[in-house]
């Protein structure tokens, strides 16, 4: 089912409001204690390409914006390499609140927050979902019935996987998380090469 721009905006606002008062989240008290914000997402509600990371970091939780720290600068650089701006795509995470010390998301947290992500996918209706990191890749492939394709991210990055949605076909495109460039210098070249494969969808 397609939505008008106004309907898409209102649906995103509803998600934001629900997240603000998500007292049943195990991360809610941590957010309040640190005066953090939930990080809903950012970009075009009609984007062809949707990027999904794992969870907000400290910079993101302090500003309420996804990928606005070191990883965000790398992501911006990658987008520029294929002539895209943030405003052309939609960027979000599975978790909408920051886990303590940037630890990995827990299964129960993914189960809770992914319901909001599922709604965001339905709102934006992207043609391509580019996953950033292992947790995002695993969740999205499972969501779209591609569990049998799952392998390590080192084997799957830069490959295309086709699935269907109620609004039409979708391409799942696993990518390394931009944070990998902080501790593996050569990975930036790999990430750039993978992004070039996204260019045909721009």
pLDDT, tens digit (0-9, with 9 covering 90-100), for 60-101: 999 999 999 899 999 999 999 999 999 999 999 999 999 998
Specify the pLDDT at position 180: 84
**CA–CA dist 185, 154 (Å, integer):** 15
Write down the pLDDT at residue 139: 98
**Residue-level pLDDT at 1:** 64
What pLDDT digit, counting tens, does each position of 54-66 carry? Answer: 999 999 999 999 9
pLDDT tens digits for range 120-158? 999 999 999 999 999 999 999 999 999 999 999 999 999
pLDDT digits (tens, 9 = 90+) for 16-46: 999 999 999 999 999 999 999 999 999 999 9
Give the global pTM.
0.95
Q: What are phi and psi of 40, to 5 degrees?
A: -75, -55
Question: What is the distance of C-alpha 141 from the center of its chain?
Answer: 13
Q: pLDDT tens digits, residue range 159-170?
A: 999 999 999 999
Low-confidence winner among 89-98, 109-118, 186-195 (lowest mean pLDDT): 186-195
Q: Where are the domains of the chain?
A: 5-201
Q: Distance between CA atoms of 63 and 113, rounded to whole angstroms?
A: 19
Q: Is the pLDDT of residue 5 over 80?
A: yes
Q: What is the DSSP string of 61-99?
A: HHHT-SS-SHHHHHHHHHHHHTT--GGGSEEEES-SSPP
Is residue 117 scored above 70 in pLDDT?
yes
**Contacts (Cβ under 8 Å, ≥6 apart) of 78:** 178, 191, 192, 195
Q: How high is the pLDDT of residue 19?
A: 98
CATH number attached to the domain at 5-201:
3.40.470.10
């Amino acid at each position: 089912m397609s939505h008008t721009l106004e309907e898409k905006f209102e649906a995103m606002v509803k998600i934001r409001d629900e997240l603000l008062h998500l007292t049943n989240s195990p991360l809610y008290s941590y957010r309040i204690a640190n005066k953090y914000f939930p990080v809903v997402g950012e970009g075009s509600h009609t984007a062809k390409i949707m990027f999904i990371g794992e969870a907000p970091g400290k910079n993101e939780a302090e500003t309420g914006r996804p990928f606005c720290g070191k990883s965000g600068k790398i992501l911006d650089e990658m987008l520029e390499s294929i002539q895209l701006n943030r405003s052309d795509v939609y960027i979000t995470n599975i978790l909408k609140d920051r886990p303590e010390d940037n630890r990995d998301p827990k299964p129960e947290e993914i189960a809770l927050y992914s319901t909001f992500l599922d709604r965001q996918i339905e709102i934006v209706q992207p043609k391509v979902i580019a996953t950033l990191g292992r947790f995002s890749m695993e969740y999205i492939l499972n969501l779209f019935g591609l569990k049998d394709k799952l392998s390590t991210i080192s084997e799957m990055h830069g490959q295309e996987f086709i699935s269907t949605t109620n609004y039409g076909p979708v391409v799942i495109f696993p990518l390394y998380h931009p944070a990998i460039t902080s501790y593996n210098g050569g990975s930036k070249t790999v990430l750039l090469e993978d992004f070039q494969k996204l260019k045909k969808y721009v």
